[in-house]
Amino acid sequence: MTENTAHKNKYLCPQQCENLKLYRYAADDRGLAYIYFFNPVCNWWVNFFPMWLAPNTITLIGFFFSVAPGIVLFSKYGTSFENGDTPIDSWFFYFYAVCYFVYRMCDEVDGKQARRTKNSSALGMLFDHGCDAYGVNLHILNIMKCL
């Protein structure tokens, strides 16, 4: 039996599998809003969370604020994307702005809480990015409905 046939992964060679074990996730955001607002505010805000609070709980709270505007929007104004008859009230846009802001802050803080409590994990990262992936689609639907 050769080395290639003994290896069980048919997509990666043994060297690539070894290199995968060395991979470490490191995000880098160079946006001005992140550098001058979100990062400093979240670094300050994370100190108010108790150490026992799981980062995934913060992610879930943020995800709720990502889902809530869609529930309100589609239950109050219907599921049709042709809004000619029922204009959306201005209070909804303020509500949506607050929900988006809370979602964004929770999304920034959950990673900081994970590093602070030494609870970073691949599962937590998958949960965070999974909620973000669903959330962005909900935001797109909300914006399409509003337009």
> Which of 129, 136, 140, 143 is an active site residue?
129
Q: What is the pTM of this model?
A: 0.80
The better pLDDT of the pair 130, 27 is held by 130
DSSP 22: T
Q: What is the pLDDT of residues 117-146, one digit of tens each?
A: 998 888 898 999 999 999 999 999 999 998
Q: What does residue 23 show for φ and ψ, rounded to 5 degrees?
A: -65, 135
Provide the pLDDT confidence category of residue 6 given band limits of 50, 70 and 90. Answer: low
Report in angstroms the alpha-carbon separations of 63 from 20, 76, 85, 108, 138.
30, 20, 31, 12, 10
Provide the pLDDT confidence category of residue 65 given band limits of 50, 70 and 90. Answer: very high
Q: What is the pLDDT of residues 77-92, one digit of tens each?
A: 888 887 566 789 999 9
DSSP 46: G
**What average pLDDT does the structure give for the chain?**
89
Q: What is the pLDDT of residues 40-56, one digit of tens each?
A: 999 999 999 999 999 99
**Catalytic: 129?**
yes
Tokens of 68: 């809530």
Q: Does the pLDDT of residue 1 top 60, yes or no?
A: no
Q: Choose among 126, 99, 109: nearest CA to 55.
A: 109
C-alpha gyration radius of the chain: 21
CA angle in degrees (0–180, nearest 5) for 140-143-147 = 140
